[in-house]
Structure 1
Amino acid sequence: MGDSKDEDEKFQEELIGLDPQDPETKAFADHLDRMQRQRPGYTVEGYLDGVRDFADSANRTTGHQRLVAVIVVGLMLLGVLLTIWFALGDIVTIIF
């Protein structure tokens, strides 16, 4: 993500009075970093950053939220597979 020194300086006001070595404080600083991160809009890099954030969030969750994330990913993969299947069927029909 970034250097811990940069994160400490960036979120110094939000983290006043908290132990910088505490894992919960580090997690909160990471959360603040994700919330304030600027992504390029409408670019491949911006979309891939969004996918990475979704995957990281899905890996941190448990229970029903993780199940919903797995179902969403499964439906997206099913859509891609069906699109490829129908495209290949059209290509085979055109060629033969």
Structure 2
Amino acid sequence: MAETERDPRFDDELIGLDPEDPEVRAFAAHLERMRRCEPGFTIEASLDRVADFAESSSRAGGLRWWVAAMIVVLIVFGVVVASWDIVVHAIEWLTAG
């Protein structure tokens, strides 16, 4: 980073840390995600949070990766079951009339 592009967080909160270090930049990005205070009920915010979950779970290993994979499988299973229920009720409604 050039001095003109310096992130102000390195002057306030991350004093003494090397802004060129990839781990320090990852930590700064983590702090930025923690401070986001946008409304969580919009589609964009939900997709951003899913993207954050996907990024963090891809960096995880071992048990954390398996827990993240299990959460994803349960979410997909829930969507499939709910979709199947909707389709079955729609077919019953169409054939009853």
Assess same fold via TM > 0.5: yes
Size of the alignment, in residue pairs?
A: 91
In the alignment, structure 2 segments of 5+ residues that lack a partner are none
2:32 counterpart residue number: 33
* Matching of residue 57 in structure 1 with residue 65 in structure 2: no
1:78 counterpart residue number: 77
Structure 1: distance between partners of 2:34 and 2:87: 41
Identity %: 44
Larger radius of gyration: 2
The alignment's TM-score, normalised by the length of structure 1, stands at: 0.82
Structure 1: distance between partners of 2:84 and 2:71: 20
1:65 positional shift? 0.5
Paired AA for residue 90 in structure 1: H
1:76 positional shift? 0.7
Paired AA for residue 16 in structure 2: G
Q: Determine helix, strand or coil for the equivalent of 1:40.
A: coil
Q: Determine helix, strand or coil for the equivalent of 2:19.
A: coil
1:68 counterpart residue number: 67
1:80 positional shift? 0.6
In the alignment, structure 1 segments of 5+ residues that lack a partner are none
Structure 2: distance between partners of 1:24 and 1:42: 31
2:87 counterpart residue number: 88
Q: RMSD in angstroms over aligned alpha carbons?
A: 1.6
1:46 counterpart residue number: 45
Paired AA for residue 21 in structure 1: E
The alignment's TM-score, normalised by the length of structure 2, stands at: 0.82
